[in-house]
Amino acid sequence: MAVASMNTEQARFNMIEQQIRPWEVLDPVVLHLLSVVKREDFVPAAYRDLAFADVEIPLAAGKEPSQTLLAPKMEARMLQELGIRNSDTVLEIGSGSGYMAALLAARAEYVYSIEIDPALADMARKNLQQAGVANVSVETGDGAQGWAAQAPYDVIVLSASTPVLPPALLGQLRVGGRLVAVVGEAPAMQLQLVTRTDESAFNTINVLETVVAPLINAPQRDKFVF
């Protein structure tokens, strides 16, 4: 058992040094979170060997569109861009296995995590409970237009991609609040950081180009008809 544990810690160290740091994630707070929140406990048993690999991990086998756990470097970069504070109320859209919620909850005051797939919502609740994370509420529902019930939020995170950001979602950000999402359609997607600067203005920074799996029921871009 000690050898297995040592191998796990070596794999975790390698993930941080070989995948995450090269992606310009250098915030010591984020790097510490990734070393202490046990990613392997949030990975389905069938994919446990891939817990620290630089891949998206399938969560609901055989379902379309497939839902995935984001690659570690993407989660890390999102966290770094957001700069979570201990007074923040966070909305996460797409609970998946609960791993991102656990990372967010380690810094935030409270996290509301919305998951459309009831089986995944149950998985996330169970994983978070077993990890001893108490400041997350996993709600079963469609978060594609946000989750107005607990708005406004200091931070909003989309754990999947969307062709466009719905106005309803932006409207749930508190002034000064931050949102991260992968916006666009394959093969042209951008990780964006959006900050609400006042009641009617938003500042958007394109952080990097990437491609991740789409959010179920994500709003579609208007298509031109000729």
Higher pLDDT among residues 213 and 65, named by residue:
213
Instruction: Name the pTM for this structure.
Output: 0.93
pLDDT band at 37 (very low <50, low <70, confident <90, very high): very high
pLDDT above 70: residue 3: no
Which two three-digit tokens encode residue 65?
A: 């569109």
Letter string b/e over residues 181-193, b meaning 16 or more CB atoms within 10 A of that residue's CB: bbbbeeeebbbbb
Given a contact cutoff of 8 angstroms between Cβ atoms, the answer to whether 60 and 67 are in contact is yes
Residue 65: the pLDDT is 56
| Structure confidence by residue, pLDDT tens digits, 185-194 | 988 899 999 9
Judge residue 83's burial from the number of C-beta atoms within 10 Å of its C-beta, 0-12 exposed, 13-18 middle, 19 or more buried. Answer: middle
Cβ within 8 Å of residue 37, ≥6 positions away: 99, 102, 103, 106, 131
**Closest residue by Cα to residue 136 from 107, 161, 174:** 107
pLDDT digits 0-9 by tens, 119-156: 999 999 999 999 999 999 999 999 999 999 999 999 99
Q: Are residues 135 and 108 in contact, defined by beta-carbon separation less than 8 angstroms? A: yes
% of the chain surpassing 90 pLDDT = 81
pLDDT band at 214 (very low <50, low <70, confident <90, very high): confident
Average pLDDT over residues 13-25: 95
Residue 28: cis peptide before it, omega within 30 degrees of 0: no
Contact predicate 37/12, CB 8 Å: no
Cα 183 to Cα 208: distance, rounded to the nearest angstrom: 11
Tens-place pLDDT, residues 155-182: 999 998 999 998 999 999 999 999 999 9
Q: How many Å apart are CA 216 and CA 218, to the nearest integer?
A: 5
Distance CA 20, CA 10 (A): 15
The number of residues in the chain equals 226
pLDDT value of residue 90: 98
Note the CATH number of domain 2-210.
3.40.50.150
79 against 221, higher pLDDT: 79
What is the average pLDDT value for the chain, to the nearest integer? Answer: 92
Q: Give the pLDDT score at 224.
A: 53
CA distances from 34 to 14, 27, 125 (A): 11, 11, 20
Predicted pLDDT at 175: 97
What is the token pair recorded at 98?
A: 């609960």
The reported pLDDT for the residue numbered 143 is: 93
Q: Are 146 and 168 in contact (CB under 8 A)?
A: yes
Q: Could you tell me which residue, 3 or 66, shows the higher pLDDT?
A: 66
Instruction: Please report which confidence band the pLDDT of residue 2 belongs to, taking 50, 70 and 90 as the band edges.
Output: low
Rounded to whole angstroms, the Cα distance separating 125 from 96 reads 10
Q: Where are the beta strands (DSSP E) in 15-135?
A: 57-58, 68-69, 89-93, 110-115
pLDDT digits (tens, 9 = 90+) for 47-65: 999 999 999 998 976 665 5
